[in-house]
Amino acid sequence: MTANRPQPRPGVLEIEAYVPGKSSAPGVAKVFKLSSNETPLGPSPHALAAYAATGKHLEDYPDGSASDLRDAIGRAFGLDPARIVCGAGSDDLLNLLARAYLADGDEAIHTTHGFLVYPIATLGTGAKPVVAAEKNYTADVDTILKLVTAKTKIVFLANPNNPTGTYLPFDEIKRLHKALPPHVLFVLDAAYAEYVRRNDYEAGIELVATSDNVVMTRTFSKIHGLAALRLGWMYGPAHVVDAVNRIRGPFNVNSAAIAAGIAAIRDNEHQERAREHNTKWLAWLTEEIGKLGLEVTPSVANFVLIHFTHEKGRTATDANAFLTRRGLVLRQVGAYKLPNALRMTVGSEEANRLVVAALTEFMGKAK
């Protein structure tokens, strides 16, 4: 039967559109946005200056291969720039990887509370997302491996994971990779790697360097504070880089992002300040919120996942409304199958203290 209007390909209408974190609280004079894991320190002053300078040459196309940026990333991490691809945020690269390696009827695995872009990218290609259950809000290697079939073409794994903040030690990552068939592309999404301070963690560089089927993606949106410019990068085997470069847009990274990214990746001092701030306040928030009788999932990233009860008046929805009225905007994570939790970005000292004070009031506890 002929359709009476154009029809999207199978899978597209199954996608639940991605909804970003709220950024406003109507009727509140001062708003603290803690819903999108943005750094409270902002970008490097050098990145701001580099961004401003590009305004004098808006008539010029950007470098289509972002060669200077790839060189800067390569120097920062000791990588071959030829094995780096830059994109408009790491989600751009995740979609490109899906387009390059998934076809109708294929399968891609992600975990229960994994980044929402994974099933979106998978369904958009006509492939099937396969969900691997987590244990204690953490990816489980054995569960993932049990789901691998001849149809599996990609395994997406955020490490650390968003929105839980949990991670897999490098030994577990290597165990997972070793057991994957060689035809499966293992995508390590390390968007929050810069915040992790655990001796058993590795972002994926070593594994990519020694494997033919591993890719690591990174972002400038978090610790570098360049979320508005949409900038990310991936490091992979030469054959994967070649495939992605064949389908990406010829100017998929703009000149302002390239310039700011180069300056940001060189500013180690600014990155360390952001890391130190996060380390201090992540621990403080986890402890202080825990004192209120609320469960906080142990996090190694720049956010905490706070669990509420099913008790009337004390649910995550109730807490969200209570906090929003005070200009404290957290992230509801029902779309991540966490309807009774809120995710809070580690904010400024003022924002962090205000949230704890508000949650103390919400829980009916005296300070």
Tens-digit pLDDT profile for residues 69-103: 999 999 999 999 999 999 999 999 999 999 999 99
**Same-domain check for residues 92 and 223:** yes
What mean pLDDT comes out for the span 60-76? Answer: 97
**Same-domain check for residues 248 and 274:** no
C-alpha to C-alpha distance for 215 and 213, rounded to whole angstroms: 7
C-alpha to C-alpha distance for 245 and 247, rounded to whole angstroms: 6
Domain boundary among 222, 241, 267: 267
Of residues 8 and 132, which shows the higher confidence score? 132
Residue 46, token pair as written in the block: 């050098």
What mean pLDDT comes out for the span 265-280? Answer: 98
Domain range for 54: 46-267
Model confidence at 365, pLDDT cuts 50, 70, 90, reads low
C-alpha to C-alpha distance for 230 and 226, rounded to whole angstroms: 7
Total domains in the chain come to 2
**Same-domain check for residues 190 and 329:** no
C-alpha to C-alpha distance for 265 and 262, rounded to whole angstroms: 5
Establish if 367 belongs to a structural domain.
no
CATH number at 189 reads 3.40.640.10
C-alpha to C-alpha distance for 307 and 328, rounded to whole angstroms: 17
Q: Which amino acid is at 155?
A: V
Establish if 1 belongs to a structural domain.
no
Establish if 304 belongs to a structural domain.
yes
C-alpha to C-alpha distance for 264 and 316, rounded to whole angstroms: 36
**Same-domain check for residues 151 and 259:** yes
**Same-domain check for residues 233 and 278:** no
Residue 150, token pair as written in the block: 């001849």
**Same-domain check for residues 231 and 277:** no
Tens-digit pLDDT profile for residues 145-154: 999 999 999 9
Establish if 2 belongs to a structural domain.
no
Tens-digit pLDDT profile for residues 115-125: 999 999 999 99
CATH number at 325 reads 3.90.1150.10
Domain boundary among 267, 288, 321: 267
Domain boundary among 231, 249, 267: 267
**Same-domain check for residues 23 and 161:** no
Average pLDDT, the chain: 95
Q: Are 342 and 320 a contacting pair, CB within 8 Å?
A: yes
Establish if 71 belongs to a structural domain.
yes
Would the pLDDT of 366 be above 50?
Answer: no
Percent of the chain, pLDDT > 70? 97
What mean pLDDT comes out for the span 343-363? Answer: 97
Model confidence at 18, pLDDT cuts 50, 70, 90, reads low
Would the pLDDT of 8 be above 90?
Answer: no
Would the pLDDT of 63 be above 80?
Answer: yes
Would the pLDDT of 367 be above 50?
Answer: no
